[in-house]
Amino acid sequence: MSTKRSYWGWGNADFVFPAAILDKYKGMLRNLLQVDQLDAIEPLPVADLQLRPPRFALPAELESICSATNYDRAGHSYGKSFRDVWRGLHGYFPHPPDYVAFPRTEEDVRQLMQFARAEQIALIPYGGGSSVCGGVEATDDPNYQGTISVDLQHFNELLDIDHTSRSAHLQGGMYGPAIEAALKPHGVTLRHYPQSFEFSTLGGWIATRSGGHFATLYTHIDEFVQSIRMVTPEGIIQTRRLPGHGAGPGEERLYAGSEGTLGIITSAWMRLQSIPQHKRTVAVNFPGFKAGAEAARALAQSGLYPSNARLIDTMEAFTNGLGDGQSAVLLVGFESHQHPVEPWLQEALNICQEYDGTWETPSKPEKVSSSRSDTWKQSFLLAPYLRDELLKLGVIVETFETAITWDQYPAFYKAVKKAAQAALQEQCGFGLITCRFTHIYPDGPAPYFTVIAPGKKDRQLEQWDAIKATVSQAIVDHGGTITHHHAVGRDHLPYYQQQHTPLFGKLLASAKKTVDPEWVLNPGVLLSRHDDRK
């Protein structure tokens, strides 16, 4: 990465949030949240952080690849959830990693694991650190003698490209922009764009089963995984390159989503696509979110497979400059490297029209996208930075994402919103909740809820924990998944354990015990050691 990352919050440390946009949101918040005063606090200089000293010494062979600076240790202490950023902003680092390792070779990784096993040191695979579910936080489990965060930033190369099979061998520490820059000269793209694209890695995407750009069909990174190479405490795993197979449970499917608990992904062969040459996106208005949801279901079941089909409710559309405060907005987009997409787009618009959808016809038919879809894209990319700016003002703002079948969706939507509103009322006295669909499937949508509320000074973390617990439990109780694309981590673990069967918990624990007998890899994430003892 060419620019220094923020040690406490999202993105680059030198990023300056556009003042005009921030002022607009401050004005809206004063009205919507009935807050008169919004005074920002600022983080401490990283040199002023009082971090406990490392609790153990490194062997000589690891000293050259490890750091104990305040910047590296603080920056690798947390991910990027509300809880993480709040603690970083307030200089609260009670259990930072003792060291941060930057291995350059698989042998370095192997030596780290050997040392960790011998000394009962927890290894925390870091990826790009964009986790919003407690997936990269150093454990405070007293059964471990310390922790080392493992950053694969040096595993950053395109190793090979197979033009015949349209696939590439990429190292696990490559960030999104580096991947696309390496592939572009070859006329191909991975075409996986999570919101964290700029600040997350291939290995992290695979380990967390990241959701990406496509609203239909290719929604998760594992659709693109052809083969995985992973270092475990018991040895190296290299799965076979295959376009598909029916030989038992897919080995690579077990590693995709394992969240660093089974091994550290050092490289992967990935399926690629030709770079799209034809793109069109139109913003469609609906009289309400219900009508938009009905259109989204029809579109998901049409077989058209739009690349973009993001439904945004009235309030969220309005605050992001997409709507008039009266309409929900469905962004419908298609792309192709081979042919113009207008016929597919027109079929989709015909479906939207059946559900009272309306849209503006571009003055130039060849226009790539509507101005409103461009507005949404800008808001989407700025959203994590905006969250941090609002957090500095004392506002509680965070998201919950899930998926549910269409038959259950209407009751589920009402129940989750009701639970969220009750939690906001109890904890904050008032608050807003908005919703959008990030992905749609023939059998159900992926609703993404955002909550915004006035925080009480020095109680924001307590308020957020209570809201998070209430909404998470409502999601699971009413049939949804605790996460559609943000992984499990530590934060979602209690709800994931309710979602999967008890026997699966034991099966997963057995798999971990096989490759990581001492449980040194990311303990407390995805599964509990208690599962191994049942």
Q: Helix or strand or coil: residue 239?
A: coil
Please indicate, yes or no, if residue 56 is contained in any of the structural domains.
Answer: yes
Structural domain includes residue 116: yes
pLDDT at 482: 98
Task: Tell me how far apart the alpha carbons of residues 464 and 399 are, in angstroms, rounded to a whole number.
Answer: 11
Query: Nearest CA to 250 among 267, 269, 234, 226?
Result: 226
204 domain residue, yes or no = no
For residue 386, what is the enclosing H or E element?
Answer: helix 371-392
Find all residues with CB under 8 Å of 35, minimum gap 6, and list them: 29, 395, 454
CATH code assigned at 43 = 3.30.43.10
Domain that holds residue 65: 19-150
SS3 at position 191: coil
pLDDT tens for each residue of 489-509: 999 999 999 999 999 999 999
Helix (H, G, I), strand (E, B) or coil at 441: strand
pLDDT, position 321: 83
Confidence of residue 364 (pLDDT cuts 50, 70, 90): low
What SS3 class is residue 52? coil
In a domain, 333, yes or no: no
**b (16+ CB within 10 A) / e for 267-295:** bbbbbbbeeeebebbbbbbbeebebbbbb
Judging by DSSP bridges, how do beta strands 395-401 and 432-441 pair with one another? unpaired
Q: At what angle do helices 82-89 and 460-477 cross, to 10 degrees?
A: 170
Q: What number is the average pLDDT over the span 417-442?
A: 96
Give the pLDDT of residue 532: 62
Q: Write down which residue in 150, 178, 203 finishes a domain.
A: 150
Cβ-count burial of 534 within 10 angstroms (0-12 exposed, 13-18 middle, 19+ buried)?
exposed
Q: Is the pLDDT of residue 186 over 60?
A: yes
Please give the pLDDT value at position 334.
97
Tokens at 69, concatenated? 């600076």
φ and ψ at residue 243, rounded to 5 degrees: -75, -20
Asked if residue 42 is part of any domain, the answer here is yes
Domain boundary among 134, 150, 166: 150
- Check residue 1 and give its pLDDT: 43
Indicate whether 369 pLDDT > 70.
Answer: no
* Domain's final residue, options 88, 117, 150: 150
Residue 459 DSSP one-character state: T
Start-to-end CA distance of the chain, whole Å, equals 44
DSSP for 336-371 reads ESSS--HHHHHHHHHHHHHTT-B-PPPSSTT-SB-H
CA dist., res. 96 & res. 52, Å (int): 8
pLDDT of 124 higher than 50 = yes
Say how far apart CA 67 and CA 102 lie, in whole Å.
8
Residue 367, pLDDT score: 47
Band (529; pLDDT cuts 50, 70, 90) = confident
Helix boundaries (H) for 120-239: 176-183, 202-208
Dihedral over Cα of 139, 135, 102, 529: its sign: positive
Domain-located, residue 83: yes
| CA dist., res. 174 & res. 176, Å (int) | 7
Q: Is 81 among the domain residues?
A: yes
Asked if residue 123 belongs to a domain, the reply is: yes
Amino acid 128: pLDDT: 97
Q: How far apart are CA 416 and CA 475, in angstroms?
A: 6
The mean pLDDT of the chain is 94
Round to whole Å and give the CA distance between 460 and 453: 10
Is residue 270 within 8 A of residue 170, CB to CB? The reply is: yes
Going by the DSSP 8-state scheme, the letter that residue 50 receives in this structure is -
Burial class (CB in 10 A: 0-12, 13-18, 19+), 245: exposed
Number of domains in the chain: 2
